[in-house]
Amino acid sequence: MSATQIHIVDAAAGLILVVCSDGSRVLFGSHVGLGTPNEAVQRIFEILEDGAIDYFIHECAEPQGVPVIDALVEFFPVKMCLERTGADVDAPQFYRNIRGERRVETLDASEIYELGETQLRILQAEAARPGRPHRPVALHVMHGEGRLASSAMCCGATSGLDWRDIAATDPDLQAACMIVHGSRPLDVVLTARDLGIASAEPLRAIAPSTVVLGADPGGATSLRGAARELYSHFARGNGAGLVELTRAAWTTLVLDGDGVRIEREDRPMTKVA
């Protein structure tokens, strides 16, 4: 049985490429928090060498960072977009331009999109913070039937997303590994409706044994320190630990049905073989 690969293109974990077991390529996110569009293009060239991106999932938010999707589309044509069903979202103009030219397929909250042994679910908050029309999404990736041990939650730019609405009541959203956006390290435990209130309930619902924390584009902050302590403690309690990303290494998660294997190559992101 072939594996599913989750390539973290951006060290901040804001741009992720999933290579599914049937060979399909799914790009999640549209910005890089660390680096430039050229660096992201170089990274994907190394992963794919040639060919197109089959599916693009925009996180429906305006995260901090540099938009790169225009540069990527120039080299890797996007065949279609995947979205969550629901009312219209006030998506950024660049995404509306891309979506208008391509086929769009929508998925319900409970719908699983199967690409070989790879299973995808798109998660979405139904309510945003006041003044924020965007409804951010996250991506749940699982390999193999009933293999929660071989799964990952890609949180994306979840500013405004209330995890109590999408994860706390659904045991199917558990994931062995959780990937956290580096510029928003505590969004998963912050609620959207109750501003300023934090809860570990979403962490307990996802129950990751490994947390991959993206690099912070703004440098070390007090939030970063709090996130490091929280996720380290939680992950150790579930039998694994915390992996922090840096710009000096490329990181890939391999899901093969028996677990999640993390492969890291120590070299600058700007270096191309």
pLDDT at residue number 66: 76
Q: Is the dihedral of CA 92, 17, 44, 103 positive or negative?
A: negative
How many other CB atoms are found less than 10 A from the CB of residue 111?
12
How far apart CA 163 and CA 170 sit, in angstroms, is 11
pLDDT at 63 (0 to 100): 56
Number of domains in the chain: 1
Considering the entire predicted model, what is its pTM? 0.90
Burial of 271: CB neighbours in 10 Å, binned 0-12, 13-18, 19+ = exposed
Q: What pLDDT shows up at residue 196?
A: 61
In a domain, 272, yes or no: no
**What is the radius of gyration, based on Cα positions, of the chain?**
17
In a domain, 82, yes or no: yes
Residue-wise pLDDT tens for the chain (273 aa)? 489 999 999 888 989 999 999 999 999 988 888 888 888 888 898 888 878 899 999 877 665 667 788 888 888 888 999 988 875 566 777 787 788 878 999 898 888 999 999 999 988 766 555 555 567 788 999 998 766 789 999 987 666 566 666 655 576 788 999 999 888 888 888 765 555 677 777 888 888 999 999 998 776 677 888 889 989 988 888 888 899 998 888 899 999 988 899 999 876 655 544
The boundaries of the domain holding residue 261 are: 4-266
Would residue 95 count as lying in a domain?
yes
Point out which residues pair with 124 in neighbouring strands. 137
CATH (domain of 83): 3.60.15.10
**Amino acid letter for position 256:** D
Closest of 7, 31, 10 to residue 19, by C-alpha: 7
Q: How far is CA 117 from CA 2, 133, 166, 171, in A?
A: 8, 35, 24, 20
